[in-house]
Amino acid sequence: MASAACPKCGHEFFEMREYEPIGPPSRYEIMFVFCAKCGATVGTVDCSNVGSIVNEIREKLEDIEHKIDYLIK
């Protein structure tokens, strides 16, 4: 089975660190995957988890529904 290796130094251990992109204010942050030995960035992962975003929307909709129910009664 193949193993992941840093393209710069060949090391096989990686770390992730969260960074906010430079530029206009953004609510999105990015996880950078980098070599634990030399620090070369080997990839990025979007911190936004679609499941958690959908769950937040569901909770807000339920809150609105409860407020509407209260107003109707």
CA distances from 66 to 55, 69, 71, 72 (A): 17, 5, 9, 10
Contact of 16 with 35, CB cutoff 8 Å: no
What is d(CA 59, CA 6) in angstroms, rounded to the nearest whole number? 41
pLDDT at res. 26: 64
Give domain status of residue 9, yes or no: no
Domain that holds residue 36: 14-72
Give domain status of residue 5, yes or no: no
pLDDT at res. 73: 74
Average pLDDT over every residue of 48-62: 85
Give domain status of residue 2, yes or no: no
pLDDT at res. 54: 86
Number of domains, the chain: 1
Give domain status of residue 6, yes or no: no
Write out pLDDT tens, residues 2-54.
Answer: 788 999 999 999 999 888 777 776 667 788 999 999 999 999 887 776 777 88
Q: What is the CA radius of gyration of the chain?
A: 20
Give domain status of residue 35, yes or no: yes
Give domain status of residue 48, yes or no: yes
Give domain status of residue 4, yes or no: no
Give domain status of residue 38, yes or no: yes
